[in-house]
Amino acid sequence: MKVLIPFYSMYGHIYRMAEAVAEGVREVSGAEAVLRRVPETLPTDVLQKMGAVEPQKAFAHIPVCTVDELAAADAIIFGTPTRFGNMCGQMRQFLDATGGLWVKGGLVGKAGGVFTSSATQHGGQESTILTFHTFLLHQGMVLVGLPYAFAGQMRIDEITGGSPYGASTIAGGQGERLPSENELAGARYQGKYIAEIAAKLKG
């Protein structure tokens, strides 16, 4: 059983979360986690100005995702940074290439989920995940979030990401904060949970 993890990351936070999601997937017997980058759409000079060229080298070895890989997966969990309270344009562009899959119902019945990252605590993590969910629903996917059974999202003794909609991390205004242990645990939980749901859907 294959759980695909297509992600976009500019400074590495979503990549780190994607690795944790993959760790959770692998906890389920027979589940394979497949990490994939969605294609970059910004020109190199713009990426340079944004300080993204060096950080992106850390995950340049991850293969770029193809639309066919979505169809071949049993479950898909997407990772995107928040951009103005929404998914990033790179992810949107990739999703806009899936019209052919929609026509064929290629993703109908597959488990699908989303995780995210934002600079600030209230900078739109929930709106990013919830607005991403419309794509999953249009494609006929079965929504999988982060249940409160992951008790780490109840914590108020430290600042933390994570909501019933999905795992998340708070990167800080300059990207200076790395995903915390609690946020990584949320990502692992969601990865394991989506693999378990996918196994049940497969029957």
Ligand X SMILES: Cc1cc2nc3c(=O)[nH]c(=O)nc-3n(C[C@H](O)[C@H](O)[C@H](O)COP(=O)(O)O)c2cc1C
d(CA 133, CA 119): 21
Site string for ligand X, 147-176 (x = CB under 6 A): ------------------------x---x-
Selection from 13, 62, 5, 6 nearest residue 31 by Cα:
5
Is residue 17 annotated as involved in ligand binding?
no
Q: Return the range that interacts with ligand X (CB under 6 A); candidates 5-13, 21-29, 34-42, 66-74.
A: 5-13
Cα first-last separation, the chain: 11
Is residue 138 annotated as involved in ligand binding?
yes
Of residues 10 through 29, those in contact with ligand X by CB under 6 A are 10-14
Taking CB atoms, the residue at the shortest distance from ligand X is 123
Of residues 100 through 119, those in contact with ligand X by CB under 6 A are 117-119
The gap from C-alpha 103 to its chain's centroid, in whole angstroms, comes to: 24
Torsion on CA atoms 4, 182, 87, 173, rounded to nearest 10: -140
Of residues 64 through 83, those in contact with ligand X by CB under 6 A are 81-83
Judged by CB under 6 A, the number of residues near ligand X is 19
Q: What are phi and psi of 196, to 5 degrees?
A: -65, -40
124 binds ligand X (CB under 6 A): yes
35 binds ligand X (CB under 6 A): no
d(CA 198, CA 64): 23
Residues of this chain that interact with ligand X (CB under 6 A) are 9-14, 81-85, 117-120, 123-124, 171, 175
